[in-house]
Structure 1
């Protein structure tokens, strides 16, 4: 059998023994200060220690007895004793403890020793049970048997060092049944010791290398209704009565966590079969924070992360409101300890996990969760990043939450964070999440507002923010977009050099580099493009051109986003169709030609040998590549269309009537050829015809634009000439008026009269 590390109790016993041995010499001082060595002193050694420099009492040396010998003999005896003595340091003490525990450890690993311990527990348990029944009214007569029972329970702690004996413990002993029965013992100390033994047996460190044996133990506990017994005892312990009972509560929570680690299905079973969820939510209510409250929040987070059924039950039982009330104190203050910081993180994890279910979002909105998160965002506290995370989860595909953000004046706070104007103080920010996470969360929330608000008026309020202060928010948006585009491009180059072949791994690597935030930025630009503000469009194009980019780069990102939309999320195929339609509207508004999608799909299908799935997967990238050569021409067309727009609205392609966003009527599409031919030759001819028509239309637009500019120039010159004439007349009138006033003054003065 493999030798395992000795339990902590053995090492503590060795340390206590050493301390007793060190303090056993009586009548002599433990330390005598001396700045320098002044000769040998019997029973002491000179050195620097915890008390400073001087002579320290050495228990290995024998102190001289009175009248034992003369000074020379005493000095010789002391020298001999020092020669035999040695100073015991911490490392040597640990080795001695391990050696002392070696024999005991070998005994613990023995099946015979396990049998002896379990039989001893049975005898002590039966003896105590009999004494309690016989002397029910005389506690002093069964106290001794109770103390023996407590020692027998603690003796089972050594079994945790031998998890390979767990099958033997389950199959050939009744120790588990006895320990579970002791959970209902009237003496809370005995019950607490039984809980401690179960916690040690299931501890992750003890079963790290013996998972199969540990699963046998967990299965046996589940068959014996351990979950019900543990949760029942959880409510019976009084944490305020003693520290032992508070520790027992902590150990019960640890047992449940250990069982979930070994068997994840326990997370759903314990919520379904017991009242653990109710107890955990109640434990969050007290204002004071301690280790048990923090651990309760951690267990609650584990439960909701493991099961959707647990998420639903928490929301249905009023748990959403309880979690929000537990978070509420941190809108005005920061966590004061590490325990409070962990508590806040756990509560945020609980809230974020529950918001993954669409039905829970309505409960969150009704509980005024959006208002609480906005208060936290305005408070410049450590909880701000956590609040942004929850707000991001809440506004994703949830129009009521998005409407509430706009109606509760959340745009001002949200865009202040987006612009970096609402900063957390440095002394607090060092311990908070990085600014990058806040940036990504804010971009995601803004995209959700533009895409999910139920009314166009609210979407217009969000879009109007990008026009304020000389389009500063447009500048910030494109700065973020270009930065993340560079990150993703760098990661793609690295993956190309590494020759990564797994498509899923490539996608995950690109997502880690910032692909999601890049797509959200492109969606924001697309939504703004649909609004049709000429100033925003020109600003975006100018910023792209400054970095040698075109609107084609935005279209490429949107094409990939549309191609990778799946129907396995909330809403299924219906939600996917809505998102595809919305992305298509944005692409059309940016000048994307739908014919390019068809051509790209056919090319991809041909390259894949006619496999339809392969063609669909490659459609987005091929279409982006086909659109790239004509990107600059598209930009020119967009700019010319904007210059010819009326009322501040640029022309945009027509979209279906059932679209969820209001857009302007689009330009006429180029006329299609009369002959519809099959095969590649017909397709190429139609493509060339469309290209010719586009070039002619472009020349007509340029001609109209030049004529308009010439006419505008002539009008401006005439206006300037008329302005100069009017200014000249005003000046001449003023000069004549001054001359008249001067003559009048002179005529009225005495000198003038003379």
Structure 2
């Protein structure tokens, strides 16, 4: 469910709530301070009365149902004030309001719990179209809820909902779970530091993975919401990455991925799969988790996914992350997972031309570029991180059959070089047009202009050209025979050797000073210069 679809779902629920209130009262009252005070007093009184009735008629639920219906009506009335931000402060400062809300979230009746969560979401929901004053009131409301432990109560209530039933009878489509995810998302959008709260809630990650296990067979909106929240939590929070990267959680994540190996996904289900893979990739930035993933045979799983061709793109991306800067994983990839055959087969199958008049979306064009980036990033990792014997095995794959894979690689180079040239023309035209807006350009430093230009070039395929150029130079210095063959192929394809070297120099100059690849490239360029003398 994308954000627009989910927004329509929430708005539909809100309309149903208003209709429900209208059906229960003869007219809508004025939303003034008097009615607000009455509503807030009633909220506390009706909760207290309901609790008394529950205790009194514990063996006869029908006798306290009317009190719960009245309580629910008052909660729906509270929602009406979400449209009046000037009253937010009065609501928050009203005696016992926060305490009452805390109690309602944990109410034994899930309908009551769901209603109060929906009400609170309307007060803290961010909207791009709202005025700045409304946004300030919304933020303050959300901050107050956070400061009073509402997030923890919401999360614990989700656990309670699941624990009320055993795993076999828990309804993963439970609407209370949906509105709880909605609230968590609202808090995360307000402040990314909210991700730190989940450092102390490792069971929340297990909860998400558990309700998502059967997504391939019985997908629902809660599962997609869960995957989105998971991807956000681990995107840039190392502690959360470590939690998800624990063996038992990685195993569950891999089980979800494995269930999609023969399924071609579209729409909301495709978004779910992308979120799951993104979560995995975030974790795989940690070397210890890479090792854990390798020990769980995760590399084999990704290679199977690539061969099956149903989830090839995200699997290739994850594989890139799985072996990056990890010599042991590269060794495993070559020796035990037998991955060279698969990655080179993928290279040989790459199309050099798009279908004529084929109209591609911006996303498809970007994915086409990233796909090639992943292939050559993986090949570079294997060459950079492998010891002598395995390094030779990778090189021999390029050399065998009269350098056919080298030929194919340089055909791909030409394809992206043409795209880059076209892109550079667009960049130049844009620069010429911007000269008219000189006043605006004066505010941008020369360094910022160069960085922006470099970023644009990356979007046109520069990284692919740089990666291929590094591989070409590695083949060039491997042996005298290889050197002669590389020069012959470059000459035949009318690719200047100096152009290859310049691309590597550009790559080198833009690497971080602390990068291990920087030293590798520096040594490579020295070898190239020696080989030319």
Q: Fold conserved (TM > 0.5)?
A: yes
Cα distance change, pair 213–274 in 1 and its aligned pair in 2 (3 A)? farther
2:398 alignment partner, SS class: coil
| Corresponding residue of 1:679 | none
CA RMSD across the alignment: 3.4
- The two structures have a TM-score, normalised by structure 1, of 0.59
Task: Give the superposition deviation at 1:388.
Answer: 0.4
Aligned partners of 1:195 and 1:252 also within 8 Å: yes
Select 1:307's aligned residue among 237, 241, 251. 237
Task: Give the superposition deviation at 1:242.
Answer: 9.2
| Corresponding residue of 1:227 | 151
Alignment of 1:355-370 (within 5 A): 355-370=284-299
| Pairing 1:144–2:70 present | no
Q: Deviations over 1:582-608 (max 9, x none)?
A: 22332233336xxxxxxxxxxxxxxxx
Cα distance change, pair 264–439 in 1 and its aligned pair in 2 (3 A)? same
Select 2:142's aligned residue among 185, 208, 218. 218
Task: Give the superposition deviation at 1:269.
Answer: 0.9
| Pairing 1:385–2:313 present | yes
Aligned partners of 1:131 and 1:141 also within 8 Å: yes
| Corresponding residue of 1:466 | 398
Select 2:219's aligned residue among 273, 289, 293. 289
Aligned partners of 2:181 and 2:225 also within 8 Å: yes
| Pairing 1:503–2:450 present | yes
| Corresponding residue of 1:449 | 382
Task: Give the superposition deviation at 1:349.
Answer: 0.6
Task: Give the superposition deviation at 1:289.
Answer: 2.8
Cα distance change, pair 524–143 in 1 and its aligned pair in 2 (3 A)? same
| Pairing 1:565–2:487 present | no
Q: Deviations over 1:684-703 (max 9, x none)?
A: xxxxxxxxxxxxxxxxxxxx
Alignment of 1:30-41 (within 5 A): none
Aligned partners of 1:392 and 1:444 also within 8 Å: yes
> Which protein has greater RCO, CA pairs closer than 8 Å, 6+ apart?
2
| Separation in 2, partners of 1:446, 1:580 | 17
Cα distance change, pair 274–565 in 1 and its aligned pair in 2 (3 A)? closer
Cα distance change, pair 198–481 in 1 and its aligned pair in 2 (3 A)? same
Alignment of 1:3-82 (within 5 A): 8-9=15-16
Aligned partners of 1:529 and 1:589 also within 8 Å: no
| Pairing 1:123–2:51 present | no
Of structures 1 and 2, the larger Rg is shown by: 1
| Corresponding residue of 1:266 | 194
Cα distance change, pair 150–274 in 1 and its aligned pair in 2 (3 A)? farther
Aligned partners of 1:118 and 1:174 also within 8 Å: no
Task: Give the superposition deviation at 1:230.
Answer: 1.0
| Corresponding residue of 1:488 | 420
Instruction: Select the structure that is richer in helix.
Output: 2
Q: Deviations over 1:376-395 (max 9, x none)?
A: 111122x0111001011122
Q: Deviations over 1:602-632 (max 9, x none)?
A: xxxxxxxxxxxxxxxxxxxxxxxxxxxxxxx
| Separation in 1, partners of 2:21, 2:93 | 34
| Separation in 1, partners of 2:38, 2:485 | 84
Select 1:514's aligned residue among 443, 453, 461. 461
Task: Give the superposition deviation at 1:137.
Answer: 4.0
| Separation in 2, partners of 1:422, 1:369 | 28
| Pairing 1:479–2:411 present | yes
| Separation in 2, partners of 1:342, 1:130 | 46
1:107 alignment partner, SS class: coil
| Pairing 1:404–2:351 present | no
Aligned partners of 1:231 and 1:274 also within 8 Å: no
| Corresponding residue of 2:345 | 416
Aligned partners of 1:478 and 1:540 also within 8 Å: no
Cα distance change, pair 242–437 in 1 and its aligned pair in 2 (3 A)? closer
Task: Give the superposition deviation at 1:413.
Answer: 1.4
| Corresponding residue of 1:160 | 82
Aligned partners of 1:388 and 1:441 also within 8 Å: yes
Task: Give the superposition deviation at 1:255.
Answer: 0.6
| Corresponding residue of 1:589 | 527
Task: Give the superposition deviation at 1:172.
Answer: 3.0
Aligned partners of 2:469 and 2:503 also within 8 Å: yes
| Corresponding residue of 1:528 | 475
| Separation in 2, partners of 1:233, 1:164 | 30
Q: Deviations over 1:636-690 (max 9, x none)?
A: xxxxxxxxxxxxxxxx47xxxxxxxxxxxxx7xxxxxxxxxxxxxxxxxxxxxxx
| Pairing 1:253–2:186 present | no
Task: Give the superposition deviation at 1:173.
Answer: 5.0
Cα distance change, pair 559–481 in 1 and its aligned pair in 2 (3 A)? same
**Structure 1: runs of 5 or more not aligned:** 18-100, 568-572, 593-651, 654-666, 668-754
| Separation in 2, partners of 1:333, 1:558 | 40
| Separation in 2, partners of 1:590, 1:300 | 46
Cα distance change, pair 331–142 in 1 and its aligned pair in 2 (3 A)? closer
2:264 alignment partner, SS class: coil
| Corresponding residue of 2:276 | 347
Q: Work out the number of aligned pairs and report it.
A: 489
Cα distance change, pair 542–112 in 1 and its aligned pair in 2 (3 A)? farther
| Separation in 2, partners of 1:493, 1:167 | 55
| Separation in 2, partners of 1:192, 1:550 | 66
Aligned partners of 1:189 and 1:244 also within 8 Å: no
| Corresponding residue of 1:107 | 30
Aligned partners of 2:224 and 2:269 also within 8 Å: yes
| Separation in 2, partners of 1:587, 1:332 | 44
Cα distance change, pair 180–402 in 1 and its aligned pair in 2 (3 A)? same
Aligned partners of 1:227 and 1:274 also within 8 Å: no
**Structure 2: runs of 5 or more not aligned:** 1-10, 433-440
Cα distance change, pair 148–330 in 1 and its aligned pair in 2 (3 A)? same
Task: Give the superposition deviation at 1:507.
Answer: 1.9
2:260 alignment partner, SS class: helix
| Corresponding residue of 1:538 | 484
Report the more deviating stretch, 223-232 or 203-212: 203-212
| Corresponding residue of 2:263 | 333
Aligned partners of 2:114 and 2:176 also within 8 Å: yes
Aligned partners of 2:469 and 2:500 also within 8 Å: yes
Cα distance change, pair 164–460 in 1 and its aligned pair in 2 (3 A)? farther
Select 2:251's aligned residue among 313, 321, 328. 321
| Corresponding residue of 2:115 | 193
| Separation in 2, partners of 1:208, 1:265 | 23
| Corresponding residue of 1:179 | 101
